[in-house]
């Protein structure tokens, strides 16, 4: 089974590339973040024509997550149980589903904006709630992964220049401690250093020629429990999909599983 995660930065803007990538990549299950559409606007019919079912949690603003699958889509759960509100509402940042026996949770972790901003405190509360929400699946015997855009670089090696991020979010000790606590639930980073690229960044800002200069970050992550991690045969960042006109500022992250051997 091939499972991937991709922050598409607007599924409407990225739809032709998304459909072409699904066809060419052979992906069975795709976790999508930052759909930037309403539930009604999500392109279910176009995906259905390719053989994919869709589960969506979206409200039309800058958030939104989804799971699309061509191997089944069962036990869908929207949102983050016990998750915090922001500005009086729980944002659509999580969705879970079971696809041919594998449980996945697609997440779009809050950005945090600035260290002294209320959104940063919200980010830390949200990550704490995520850990509590996935603890059962993480410790279970069914293959499970929480994957998506975490808006955190786990280590200094996961940014092009640590000094460039001094005083900024995404690299603070508190954020990294929250990731460590999440992994402590029994999860493993199954794409720590993909072999296809020396520097496996997943995100490059559109500005200042960041992609051509490889000024990126590794913030799109796949954390799997023991049954999931033991089934991993290969993993990589599809950096080619970040190239060209109309690309998202994130690249897909792909994991291949051999469940017969797990």
If you count them, how many residues does the chain have?
A: 262
pLDDT value for 145: 98
Cα–Cα distance, 99 to 97 (Å, whole number) = 6
Task: Show the beta-strand stretches assigned E in 109-231.
Answer: 144-149, 188-189, 203-204, 216-217, 220-224
CB of 234 closer than 8 Å to CB of 256: yes
Please give the torsion angle defined by the CA atoms of residues 94, 170, 247 and 43, in that order, rounded to the nearest 10 degrees.
10
pLDDT value for 62: 84
Domains of the chain in sequence order: 2-261 (3.60.10.10)
pLDDT value for 193: 62
Cα–Cα distance, 39 to 196 (Å, whole number) = 36
- Count of H helices and E strands in the chain? 5, 14
Closest CA to 140 of 105, 88, 175: 105
In angstroms, what is the C-alpha Rg of the chain?
17
Tell me the three state secondary structure of residue 53: strand
Total Cβ atoms within 10 A of residue 25: 15
pLDDT value for 35: 98
**Which structure tokens are listed for 97?**
């589903």
Cα–Cα distance, 232 to 167 (Å, whole number) = 36
CB of 155 closer than 8 Å to CB of 177: no
pLDDT value for 192: 76
**Which structure tokens are listed for 19?**
């459909």
Closest CA to 130 of 97, 176, 86, 82: 82
Cα–Cα distance, 204 to 201 (Å, whole number) = 8
Per residue in 100-156, pLDDT (tens digit) is 999 999 999 999 999 999 999 999 999 999 999 999 999 999 999 999 999 999 999
pLDDT value for 229: 97
Cα–Cα distance, 6 to 17 (Å, whole number) = 12
CB of 71 closer than 8 Å to CB of 4: no
**Which structure tokens are listed for 158?**
């996961």
Instruction: List the pLDDT tens digit at each of the 262 positions of the chain.
Output: 999 999 999 999 999 999 999 999 999 999 999 999 999 999 999 999 999 999 999 998 789 999 999 999 999 999 999 899 999 999 999 999 999 999 999 999 999 999 999 999 999 999 999 999 999 999 999 999 999 999 999 999 999 999 999 999 999 999 999 999 999 999 999 997 644 556 589 999 999 999 999 999 999 999 999 999 999 999 999 999 999 999 999 999 999 999 986 5
Tell me the three state secondary structure of residue 159: strand
């Amino acid at each position: 089974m091939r499972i991937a995660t991709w922050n598409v930065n607007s599924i409407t803007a990225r739809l032709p590339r998304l459909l072409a990538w699904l066809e060419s990549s052979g992906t069975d299950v795709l976790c999508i973040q930052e759909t930037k559409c309403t539930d009604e606007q999500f392109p279910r019919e176009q995906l259905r024509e390719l053989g994919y079912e869709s589960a969506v949690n979206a409200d039309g603003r800058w958030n939104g997550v989804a799971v699309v699958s061509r191997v089944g889509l069962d036990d869908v759960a929207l949102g983050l149980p016990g998750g915090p509100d922001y500005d009086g509402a729980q944002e659509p940042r999580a969705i879970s589903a079971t696809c041919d026996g594998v449980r996945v949770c697609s997440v779009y972790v809050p950005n945090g904006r600035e260290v002294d901003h209320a959104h940063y405190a919200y980010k830390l509360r949200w990550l704490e709630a995520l850990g509590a929400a996935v603890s059962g699946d993480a410790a279970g015997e069914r293959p499970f992964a929480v994957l998506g855009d975490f808006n955190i670089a786990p280590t200094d090696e996961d940014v092009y220049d640590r000094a460039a991020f001094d005083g900024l979010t995404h690299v603070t000790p508190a954020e990294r401690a929250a990731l460590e606590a999440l992994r402590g639930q029994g999860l493993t980073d199954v794409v720590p250093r993909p072999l296809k690229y020396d520097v496996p960044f997943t995100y490059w800002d559109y500005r200042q020629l960041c992609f051509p200069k490889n000024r990126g970050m590794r913030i799109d992550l796949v954390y799997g429990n023991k049954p999931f991690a033991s089934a991993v045969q290969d993993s990589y960042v599809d950096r080619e999909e970040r190239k060209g006109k109309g690309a998202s500022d994130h690249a897909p992250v792909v994991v291949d599983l051999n469940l017969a051997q797990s």
